[in-house]
Homo-oligomer: A and B are copies of this chain.
């Protein structure tokens, strides 16, 4: 079966059992990989109501058909399980080299079950797997543990997926990190890994990823190399040569840059934290993921006042905003230090920044006091306090222990009206895009199966551009819709684009590589030899979205949870959106439109049996409350 290893590794850490499974080709084609596998195994195998941090939960590392194929965008993998943040479907994707290495080692997916008695790591090499003692590396930052693993296994080319102390300490928004700097950031999969006492997965593979049509794959790969080579550095779009974070001033002008916990829109010096400034000051090189010519990953080095180790990469836009503007901070080096700490501890930078911003706003409003913070002056803009707090969260020290629970749980414990500053959906912190401005994105935050998420969502501002509309015309979305609109045409745009994004999360294709729909289809065909169409692939996205939805419903998530935090129903207190807010009636109406367009019950959001059958997953209906 081209493009796949054809084998799934199942590891039970409670009883040290390792099993290899080989599903048939239709399984692969129907669920594809990534999110598809995660949703499949969570529905089929995880008992309802399981505590995400108990041994019952599963941690699923899933590749896709293109993972490890030498072509731009194929360097990603997904990690999933029941989310300790949301209590629902948890999944996140990271780049780097780990995924390709795992495929070359002969596996498409790892299902990790149970909990080790003592810390362990998993060593996978060329079709074999072994569980190894990790007591000696438990508690270490991930660069240190990776070094020791490579040394003891005597192979410097081993690739790792790891957790640092943040994951070990069950920070609810802990991430897992590939190769020290490629984070699968959202939904707290690092905490799930920590709860299993699994420090790392180390992988080495010498196998070949077989493809159906190597010439075609090579030609497609070359096309993107040529494209990337020809594009002037620093040009617009996905900003090759800069990575993300190149549009800070524009974001401030439109009101899109989250500032002071999404409270206001005042950020006088956005260029202080821009990718351009990074390039001109602390950047030492741009880095890439496996086989990718685009090199969008920053590597920064700072010597003073903070020492920032370039081994851990550099900040993305989300990080610059979350730990920067959203905390009222324009100190780039502090942000880079906090980013480095987030990598060392394996903490999601969005989750950390948003939670710290939440704490800052509580502090400014007297809900948290200097006593609560252990003496930290937690006002917006205090860069030193922010950096300190990241570390406290990672160690669960002092107030860091509370904040490690995320905004939803922290607000519940703090009380006194703190809920109003908790900017999350379903318990997951909102990423750095403004729903007051981007209305369909806001609806997408609300209905996303993983809580607020920017990856499988649309950024509707981009559709102001004619070129973006031209692209989605290919999906039959013909009429350009104004930014503020939330009617059926906009909702359909969101839905179709969500299908394409979930498709990416199943193929495992990087959404930042500017492949056209056609090219992605061609890549899949060249890799697998299948005769797939865009219809089949969109239906895959729809299928997996429905599976994640049913999982959430089974776990008790309801339509009421498909909602935005209170903050966005009020304007920014100052700045470009000081007269603009999401109208709750409009949002509710748009949610109804979304539900019924999905063939879900208009009130409850429960998928119809017919829809599940039409998607070839009639079996999923048995997990619904009313079958």
Kindly report which residue of chain B lies nearest to residue A470, judged by CB atoms: B531
**A50 at the binding interface (Cβ < 8 Å):** no
Question: Are the C-beta atoms of A474 and B532 separated by less than 8 Å?
Answer: yes
Question: Are the C-beta atoms of A476 and B536 separated by less than 8 Å?
Answer: yes
| Minimum C-beta distance from A137 to chain B (A) | 44
Q: CA A271 – CA B517 in complex, angstroms?
A: 50
Question: Are the C-beta atoms of B610 and A536 separated by less than 8 Å?
Answer: no
Q: CA A80 – CA B335 in complex, angstroms?
A: 67
Question: Are the C-beta atoms of B599 and A476 separated by less than 8 Å?
Answer: no
Residues of B within 8 A of A474 (CB): 530-533, 535-536
Residues of B within 8 A of A488 (CB): 613-614, 616, 618
Interface string of A532-550 (1 = CB under 8 A from B): 1111111110000000000
Question: Are the C-beta atoms of A610 and B602 separated by less than 8 Å?
Answer: yes
Q: CA A475 – CA B531 in complex, angstroms?
A: 9
**A26 at the binding interface (Cβ < 8 Å):** yes
Kindly report which residue of chain B lies nearest to residue A500, judged by CB atoms: B535
Question: Are the C-beta atoms of B611 and A535 separated by less than 8 Å?
Answer: no
**A595 at the binding interface (Cβ < 8 Å):** yes
| Minimum C-beta distance from A426 to chain B (A) | 23
**A382 at the binding interface (Cβ < 8 Å):** no
Residues of B within 8 A of A530 (CB): 473-474
Interface string of A463-484 (1 = CB under 8 A from B): 0000000110111101100000
Kindly report which residue of chain B lies nearest to residue A499, judged by CB atoms: B535
Residues of B within 8 A of A478 (CB): 26, 29-30, 616
Point out the residue from B26, B536, B593, B595 that lies within 8 Å of A475, measured CB to CB.
B536
Residues of B within 8 A of A618 (CB): 488
| A contacts with B, residue count (CB < 8 A) | 45
**A347 at the binding interface (Cβ < 8 Å):** no
Interface string of A1-41 (1 = CB under 8 A from B): 00000000000000000000000001001100000000000
Task: Give the contacts of A490-510 with B (CB-CB under 8 A).
Answer: 491-492, 495-496
| Minimum C-beta distance from A197 to chain B (A) | 39
Residues of B within 8 A of A439 (CB): none
Q: CA A546 – CA B613 in complex, angstroms?
A: 19
Kindly report which residue of chain B lies nearest to residue A478, judged by CB atoms: B26
Q: CA A530 – CA B472 in complex, angstroms?
A: 11
Question: Are the C-beta atoms of B616 and A599 separated by less than 8 Å?
Answer: no
Point out the residue from B29, B491, B610 that lies within 8 Å of A597, measured CB to CB.
B610
Q: CA A93 – CA B48 in complex, angstroms?
A: 54
Q: CA A561 – CA B618 in complex, angstroms?
A: 27
Q: CA A26 – CA B609 in complex, angstroms?
A: 33
**6 closest pairs, A vs B, by CB?**
A596-B610, A533-B534, A476-B536, A597-B614, A488-B613, A599-B599
Q: List 11 A-B contacts (CB under 8 A).
A: A471-B531, A476-B616, A478-B616, A489-B616, A533-B535, A534-B536, A535-B535, A593-B613, A597-B610, A599-B608, A602-B610
Given A471-B531, A492-B614, 9 additional A-B pairs, CB 8 A: A29-B473, A30-B478, A470-B531, A476-B540, A517-B533, A518-B533, A535-B535, A595-B610, A596-B608
Q: Which A residues fall within an 8 A CB radius of B?
A: 26, 29-30, 470-471, 473-476, 478-479, 488-489, 491-492, 495-496, 517-518, 530-540, 593, 595-599, 602, 608-611, 613-614, 616, 618
